[in-house]
Structure 1
Amino acid sequence: MFRFLIVIEKGDGNYSAYSPDLPGCAATGKTREEAEKNMHEAIAFHIDGLKEDGLPIPEGKFSASWVLV
């Protein structure tokens, strides 16, 4: 099992998501929930491709936290 941070950004009329641990792996959706679901699928597809190509799967190194001011 792997663990990767995903970042979800609100755009003009949709949401986009990416993982800083997996360059080039991104997804979009009409809602935040759809973007997150699509990102889960994109990560699974990305990892399958890495395995198929015999490439290493990167370790999830990024994390996030909220700061209240």
Structure 2
Amino acid sequence: MADIEQAKATFARFDQNGDGMVTAEEFKHAMAEMGDPYVTGPVAEAVIKARDTNNDGLMSFEEFWTALQKA
């Protein structure tokens, strides 16, 4: 099980505009900043879609946390 404070800090790195939601573009950009330039647009979209339980095209912290709990 992940530590929620660590998860919040990690989520904040992805949520670049601070609106509480992560877009595929934000995810791709954050992954590149963390040293993974191979996360393409389609890969980022697939990751967000896999965690997007309410189908709004975005990943909330709650969705991120839930995904971490399953890992």
If the TM-score is normalised by the length of the shorter chain, which range does it land in? Answer: under 0.3
More strand by share: 1
More helix by share: 2
User: Of the two, which has the highest radius of gyration?
Assistant: 1
> TM-score under structure 1 normalisation?
0.27
> TM-score under structure 2 normalisation?
0.26
Larger RCO, structure (CA 8 Å, separation 6 or more): 2
